């Protein structure tokens, strides 16, 4: 496992060194995410994957994001997609601030609410993707039903169908706004108690603002998230939250990442068995 990990790091460094030789990539900090390998230097960040279409989409949306004014910083694209050795990546600016993935609700709630308000009040530029483009977009329900549901235990197959249908119904009359798509402390930077930067805009779209509350429900629980939103939006957020693992599984299915797909399906099964699909009741 360690050897395989070292090879992945070496491959990522090799890609970045070939594509952006002006930077000292062997000195970079490496981070492996669900969809990218990331190299972080003090001045720049390289995001690299085998999924060319994902990189191209993210580059387009990052360029569109430049047109939006936020009270926090967002990464700026510094290069177009560049390919080497079967992988493709982009270079983006590094943001200043402290990553606090375990920040307590009491310390974060006011700032989270302010950031979400900034997102919902922003004027989305034309050309942004539809919700869940990263995991199939309008095809997502059929991917779940045709490719994922048969892999679930028989007693949970109707549950999967029901939560997917509930999302479609919830979105039918929901307002639409600019949505980060993976909003939470894992993608926020802090300075002096304020959110200084928001990164990883991979799932950026125009859609139901409750999508951005769904990860917060998973982290902090619905009772706490209720403090920063209205009951109707919270209910939709819980509906979205119930499908998050099926969204990741669909993305794994589309990209051929069997390990990611099966891990996400395992999460769905565990949450369904524990009756925590909508709300883990954290805290």
Burial class (CB in 10 A: 0-12, 13-18, 19+), 127: exposed
Query: Which sequence spans correspond to the domains of the chain?
Result: 2-93, 98-274
Q: What is the DSSP letter of 136?
A: T
Q: pLDDT exceeding 90 applies to what percent of the chain? A: 90
Nearest CA-CA partner of 156 in 16, 265, 261: 265
Q: What is the DSSP letter of 23?
A: S
Residue 47, token pair as written in the block: 């995001």
| CATH classification for the domain delimited by 2-93, as one of 3.30.200.20, 3.90.180.10, 3.40.720.10, 2.40.40.20 | 3.30.200.20
Q: What does the alpha-carbon distance between residue 254 and residue 252 come to, in Å, rounded to a whole number?
A: 5
Per-residue model confidence (pLDDT) at position 282: 64
> Is the predicted pLDDT of residue 11 greater than 60, yes or no?
yes
223 with 283: CB under 8 angstroms? yes
Classify domain 98-274 by CATH architecture: Alpha-Beta Complex (3.90)
Per-residue model confidence (pLDDT) at position 3: 42
Per-residue model confidence (pLDDT) at position 34: 83
Phi, psi (rounded to 5 degrees) for 3: -65, -45
pLDDT band at 2 (very low <50, low <70, confident <90, very high): very low
Q: What does the alpha-carbon distance between residue 283 and residue 234 come to, in Å, rounded to a whole number?
A: 17
pLDDT per position as a tens digit, 182-222: 999 999 999 999 999 999 999 999 999 999 999 999 999 99
Burial class (CB in 10 A: 0-12, 13-18, 19+), 260: middle
> Is the predicted pLDDT of residue 76 greater than 70, yes or no?
yes
* Alpha-helical regions (H) of 99-228: 105-121, 140-143, 157-172, 214-220, 222-225
Strand partners, 166: none
Residue 222, token pair as written in the block: 């619905």
R_g (Cα) of the chain, nearest Å: 19
pLDDT per position as a tens digit, 151-192: 999 999 999 999 999 999 999 989 999 999 999 999 999 999
Query: How many CB atoms lie under 10 A from the CB of residue 56?
Result: 14
Q: What is the pTM of this model?
A: 0.94
Dihedral angle of Cα 30, 14, 55, 80, to the nearest 10 degrees: 110
Mean of pLDDT values over 72-86: 94
Cβ-based neighbours of 169, under 8 Å, separated by 6 or more: none
């Amino acid at each position: 496992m360690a050897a395989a990990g070292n090879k992945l790091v070496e491959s990522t460094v090799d890609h970045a060194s070939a594509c952006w030789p002006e930077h000292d990539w062997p000195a970079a900090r490496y981070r492996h995410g669900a969809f990218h390998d990331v190299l972080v230097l003090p001045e720049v960040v390289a995001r690299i994957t085998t999924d060319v279409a994902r990189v191209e989409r993210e580059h387009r949306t990052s360029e569109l994001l430049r047109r939006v004014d936020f009270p926090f910083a967002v990464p700026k694209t510094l290069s177009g997609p560049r390919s080497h050795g079967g992988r493709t990546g982009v270079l983006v600016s590094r943001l200043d601030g402290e990553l606090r993935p375990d920040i307590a609700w009491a310390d974060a709630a006011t700032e989270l609410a302010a950031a979400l308000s900034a997102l919902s009040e922003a004027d989305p530029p034309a050309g942004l993707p539809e919700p869940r483009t990263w995991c199939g977009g309008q095809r997502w329900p059929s991917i779940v039903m045709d490719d994922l549901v048969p892999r679930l235990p028989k007693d949970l197959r109707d549950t999967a169908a029901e939560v997917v249908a509930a999302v479609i119904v919830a979105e039918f009359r929901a307002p639409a706004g600019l949505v980060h798509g993976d909003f939470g402390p894992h993608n926020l930077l802090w300075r002096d108690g304020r959110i200084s930067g928001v990164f990883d805009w991979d799932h950026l779209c125009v859609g139901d603002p409750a999508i951005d509350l769904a990860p917060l429900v998973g982290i902090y629980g619905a009772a706490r998230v209720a403090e920063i939103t209205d009951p109707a939006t919270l209910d939709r957020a819980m509906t979205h939250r119930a499908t998050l693992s099926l969204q990741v599984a669909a993305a794994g299915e589309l990209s051929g990442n069997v390990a990611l797909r099966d891990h996400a399906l395992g999460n769905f099964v565990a949450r369904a068995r524990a009756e925590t699909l909508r709300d883990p009741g954290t805290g």
